Amino acid sequence: MGRPLGGVTARRVLVTGADGFIGSHLVERLLADGHEVTAVVRATSVVGTTELRLRNLGAVRDRLAGVIAVDVAGSDACARMAESSPQWVFHLAAEAWVERSFTQPAEVLRTNLGGTMNVLALARQSPGLERLVVTSSSEIYGTAQAERIAEHHPLAPTSPYAASKLAADRMAFAFVQTYGLPIAIVRPFNCYGPRHTYDVIPKFIDRALRGLPLVVFGDGQQSRDFTYVDDMVEAFVLAAEHPDVVGQAINFGSGVSITVAALAAQITALCGSPAAVERGPARAAEVARLCCDASAAHALGWRAQIGLDEGLQRNIAWAREQRPAR
């Protein structure tokens, strides 16, 4: 290691959640920048035992320094990850489906906090560590109490998922204060794009392309700040490279919000779909409004570049490519 890349030295990098939505895009970017990347992926009864099956990283599998299939919250995770002697660690592994936390809150907490504890333990025993980037969530704020949410906004999670992410966020901060670790905390606002499968945008796109009704829960006036995945990858890279983010939690978002009802209408129009928009019952723990104040990120040189209309068009084009040929 040590080859210069436009002013940035190549590092040994470990990425947890590497085969997930944001993680896979981040891995591709890190490889393109010349870094030596080890991917940590979720171990299952198949993956890591009888075979290694990568959902999103198949195209770059041969370029990875290694793949570790492990339960990130398991007792052996820290030791397994330490084998890569990382200089940078990006921790993205999580149970990120809010609805699952309603029925399995203990399992979500185990993964999101327990997994983070293992990564923090890894950081403590990695003498060559230069930066650990921990992924938080805008959900930790609850409903916006101002026009936009800055980092000093009250922390008021409404779901077990959000509470688990807040616990991980504050534990990472505590490890900075207690052990002096070089940790940066990224708080993404509603990232979307190709490979995302379970949030509102991919669900709406899938149903619009199939001509099925798009279901908007409650009155549809709940609003979100959507940030395209390419911009979010830039945020993670900045959090690893910039000297002024250590010990900080930084919001990354577009600063523009849209209601879910308006989003449904925009997606059907962009898809050229006849799909209707229907109302469903209000959901538990629904956050009414999220909109990012990204002033701190802007001061570091980051700004969202891809607007919602362009991002949705890219996402729709990708979704069309994934549909089976008729």
- N- to C-terminal Cα separation, the chain: 48
Place of tokens 């084009």: 317
29, 313, 326 from 116: Cα distances, Å: 23, 35, 44
Catalytic residue from among 141, 161, 192, 228:
161
Eight-class DSSP state of 41: E
Single-letter code of the amino acid located at 224: R
- Alpha-carbon gap, residue 99 to 96, rounded angstroms: 9
- Alpha-carbon gap, residue 210 to 222, rounded angstroms: 25
Structure tokens at 238: 């900045």
Of 144, 309, 284, 319, nearest in space to 226 by CA: 309
- Alpha-carbon gap, residue 122 to 74, rounded angstroms: 13
Place of tokens 């983070």: 116
Q: Are 205 and 267 in contact (CB under 8 A)?
A: yes
- Alpha-carbon gap, residue 253 to 290, rounded angstroms: 10
- Alpha-carbon gap, residue 300 to 286, rounded angstroms: 31
The question of whether 179 is a catalytic residue gets the answer no
Eight-class DSSP state of 104: -
Q: Are 42 and 15 in contact (CB under 8 A)?
A: no
65, 67, 122, 150, 304 from 206: Cα distances, Å: 35, 31, 39, 33, 25
> Where in the sequence numbering do the catalytic residues fall?
161
